[in-house]
Structure 1
């Protein structure tokens, strides 16, 4: 039976022979899987499984168990992330196009070509916006992918031109209700299970892409490669299957969305546009309501934490800060910037996150121009460390001739060491194709500066 091991250094060096001074033939990132071919004393001959040249690694540079790996995929103007952990694979959003699907087929090609199904433990749709869920439809349609549970926030997307009778809001029915002593418009119509999704699909009023997504989910369930769907809010506290707070396990907290009450039917405050928040009785905004009630996940692996905040906006961030009060569950090491770097952010919320690393997921849609200059400046200012790190899927993109090399931001953690990386645009040294940064990052020339000052 084949033995597989994992790189356990920020960049594990593969050498031409079993000697510490042998020529370096490859570097693989922390957590990269390697197949053991043979052994020689304290050295292991390994097959790099297509990740550059194979060779020899020292046993002290590898480990026997998998780590946390998160891939922020360049899906253009949208979000799409793959989270690999000892618990399995989790997808968080899928972008508007086929980029995530293509990346998955390439990354997991050995499993798919062998005739096995790739098991996806959790598929999280942060909120029902096209640029977050549409790319997941192709995965649901492909029987080579077996999905355990689709997690969603329960918000419906009706077709603006074909609303159900008695509905004037494309997210469903609104009612004036008392929320924390204030009369506010409340979204009272939400859904949970696949059977409820079927009722909505059969009703014929859903927005076309939203209908296609849930029809694909219903077909996948019938064909046996989807387990179920579940609405998730802060009532759940943790993502099911990710609730073991252990150094070698991925622990996932659910910090949003926040319903109007903690029991009974799930209802959400209808948020106004950020331009209107100072009005005495602001009009509900569809975009701010569905974005503002994004599923917010906090991932914890060993000593490291990551925040995935969907498309949170100013009204939503105010809403969450009021709820949590003096408690601050948002402080993390790495944060994906909310809403692709929109200007619609609250500085006090950024101060609560205060990460060491920020990641922007955005594309070339010029109607948005994300990330905005003020968002880039604000997150850089409200980041910990003397050398904070800022990554962008769009900036990581490169071209050669007529070919586009889509950007990919890598996060790797073994619980003690955290590494962020993106591929070099020019691979002059084929044995080292990554620009990688340990977190906290001391600066590329920290050693030289220290020596010059001594």
Structure 2
């Protein structure tokens, strides 16, 4: 195995390999591409004078100055451009890999296939399905079809879609307890999921449980658990671990002796409102992932964590609620709830108090996300004189598929015909290789452009996305969060 190192802060340059691999690079090597802090480098060798390392990075081989490399892995979060919906890849400093939501289509599968290849059996540590809306879980259908990919565990919010006589009972029949309504038919572990499936009619015609059933039967995951605030921390990320992952939502209650989730008036608001909400803390850097939290559920969360009324009666009570909630919710970077929907509680935004907010939304959608008033509220209640709003939708201007789909279809049809008509194994292999290269181009269109990349060593943060027109020396638009004289993280703008 080659030695693994990483690109240095904030960016580093990969230089051309050259035509004579047995020699070191020239005194003035030609830049090949700009690398981001934390990009993985497989070290293949070193120059004779020890000043350069020969590395493989971002699908290319080239030289790097030794001082432009570091030995330690960072925390990495990639907010993938999956169109309308949410999807993020989390890689911990210890190398654990999580997929938090996967969008609706195959963009997440294409991104992960580009990133990891899946040529060998690969197990991700977990998938987190924040809730059972298609634009958050649908992409897992394509991930479960990847031949060499599986997950050790699936985390859900405990609500299971089911066939029902009335649409209002699609999560189970709401039960009244002490003046409030709850869903008590929760699926909290694998055994309960199997019991749910023991009556096949429950999942009949329902895409979400059917997807999970087929994936489990195909060996795509080993375990399934509900993740809620009663656990306090995501397993493996409790106090004492380098990366803390606190579970802020959903907040479960006990109703008539059973674990239950509050009914928020209809199926959609209840599903969204009980999104799995996570708070990541790596040393001095905090990140909030809130799924599709809405106003009603945010009041419930703030009240549950602070012990104060989630619906304050006046400005003084609201300020008190925000101050009490900040020890739980305050973050440096936040993923905007519900793609920038206006159904977002202002005291929650104030409690999060972010420096930077990432919005995951798509071009072809009927909701006008992100909403103008949501953008204004997020900017107003963020920290610093230049708060950052980053958007997957704005970071890539081409469609969710590719720029010229008809041209690619024609090329793929031609190559498929050549594979079928090949007279020799050699001709067939050449055509097959070209076919795979074209598929890789399709994956790359999503993997490279539109994704918002977050890298952190726990002291500093880099946020970046790929420029659609890049050069070997400037391939990324990036923003730096660094500690000030008091140790507080701030955005370092070159214009301040």
Using structure 1 for the length normalisation, give the TM-score: 0.85
Contact 1:236 1:254 in 2 (8 A): yes
Q: Which residue number in structure 1 is paired with residue 251 of structure 2?
A: 258
**Match for residue 226 of structure 1 among 218, 221, 224:** 221
Q: Which residue number in structure 1 is paired with residue 71 of structure 2?
A: 64
SS of the residue corresponding to residue 34 of structure 2 reads: strand
Q: Give the Cα–Cα distance (whole angstroms) in 2 for the partners of residues 355 and 129 of structure 1.
A: 26
Give 1:22 shift: 5.6
Judging changes above 3 Å, is the alpha-carbon distance between structure 1 residues 39 and 216 closer, same or farther for their aligned structure 2 residues? same
Give 1:369 shift: 1.2
Show CA shifts across 1:295-348 (max 9, x none).
100111222111000000000111111112224311001000000111101111
Q: Give the Cα–Cα distance (whole angstroms) in 1 for the partners of residues 193 and 66 of structure 2.
A: 53
Show CA shifts across 1:172-212 (max 9, x none).
0211112xxxx111111111223322333343233521133
Show CA shifts across 1:122-143 (max 9, x none).
1001011111111112222334
Q: Which residue number in structure 2 is paired with residue 77 of structure 1?
A: 84
Contact 2:105 2:139 in 1 (8 A): yes
Give 1:51 shift: 4.5
Single out whichever of 261-270 and 118-127 deviates more from structure 2: 261-270
Show CA shifts across 1:410-439 (max 9, x none).
001122221000010212x22321111111
Contact 1:88 1:121 in 2 (8 A): yes
Q: Which residue number in structure 1 is paired with residue 317 of structure 2?
A: none
Q: Which residue number in structure 2 is paired with residue 341 of structure 1?
A: 340
Q: Which residue number in structure 2 is paired with residue 177 of structure 1?
A: 177
Contact 1:25 1:53 in 2 (8 A): no
SS of the residue corresponding to residue 433 of structure 1 reads: strand
Contact 1:314 1:346 in 2 (8 A): yes
Judging changes above 3 Å, is the alpha-carbon distance between structure 1 residues 401 and 191 closer, same or farther for their aligned structure 2 residues? closer
Q: Give the Cα–Cα distance (whole angstroms) in 2 for the partners of residues 321 and 232 of structure 1.
A: 18
Q: Which residue number in structure 1 is paired with residue 438 of structure 2?
A: none
Judging changes above 3 Å, is the alpha-carbon distance between structure 1 residues 242 and 4 closer, same or farther for their aligned structure 2 residues? same
Pair 1:312 & 2:293 matched: yes
Pair 1:209 & 2:259 matched: no
Judging changes above 3 Å, is the alpha-carbon distance between structure 1 residues 169 and 7 closer, same or farther for their aligned structure 2 residues? same
Contact 1:95 1:130 in 2 (8 A): yes
Contact 2:98 2:128 in 1 (8 A): yes
Pair 1:298 & 2:279 matched: yes
Contact 1:4 1:64 in 2 (8 A): yes
**Match for residue 94 of structure 1 among 102, 111, 114:** 102
Q: How does 1:53-452 map to 2 (within 5 A)?
A: 54-59=62-67, 61-85=68-92, 86-109=94-117, 112-113=118-119, 116-159=120-163, 162-163=164-165, 169-178=169-178, 183-201=179-197, 202-206=199-203, 207-220=205-218, 223=219, 225-246=220-241, 249-261=242-254, 265-271=258-264, 284-325=265-306, 326-328=324-326, 329-399=328-398, 401-402=403-404, 405-406=445-446, 407-427=450-470, 429-439=471-481, 440-446=490-496
Q: Give the Cα–Cα distance (whole angstroms) in 1 for the partners of residues 33 and 366 of structure 2.
A: 42
Q: Give the Cα–Cα distance (whole angstroms) in 1 for the partners of residues 145 and 341 of structure 2.
A: 32
Q: Which residue number in structure 1 is paired with residue 44 of structure 2?
A: 37
Show CA shifts across 1:198-254 (max 9, x none).
33334323352113322223213xx3x4220011111111111222545xx322110
Single out whichever of 323-332 and 348-357 deviates more from structure 2: 323-332
Give 1:24 shift: 4.0
Contact 2:161 2:206 in 1 (8 A): no
Contact 2:107 2:139 in 1 (8 A): yes
Give 1:357 shift: 0.7
Greater per-residue helix proportion: 2
Show CA shifts across 1:56-107 (max 9, x none).
2223x32223111111111111111000111410010111111101111111
**Aligned CA-pair RMSD:** 2.4
Determine which structure has more spread, i.e. the larger CA radius of gyration: 2
Single out whichever of 292-301 and 9-18 deviates more from structure 2: 9-18
Contact 1:25 1:55 in 2 (8 A): no
Contact 1:10 1:417 in 2 (8 A): no
Gaps in structure 1 of 5+ consecutive residues? 272-283, 447-454
Q: Which residue number in structure 1 is paired with residue 437 of structure 2?
A: none
Q: Give the Cα–Cα distance (whole angstroms) in 2 for the partners of residues 75 and 234 of structure 1.
A: 27
Judging changes above 3 Å, is the alpha-carbon distance between structure 1 residues 417 and 264 closer, same or farther for their aligned structure 2 residues? farther
Q: Give the Cα–Cα distance (whole angstroms) in 1 for the partners of residues 182 and 293 of structure 2.
A: 18
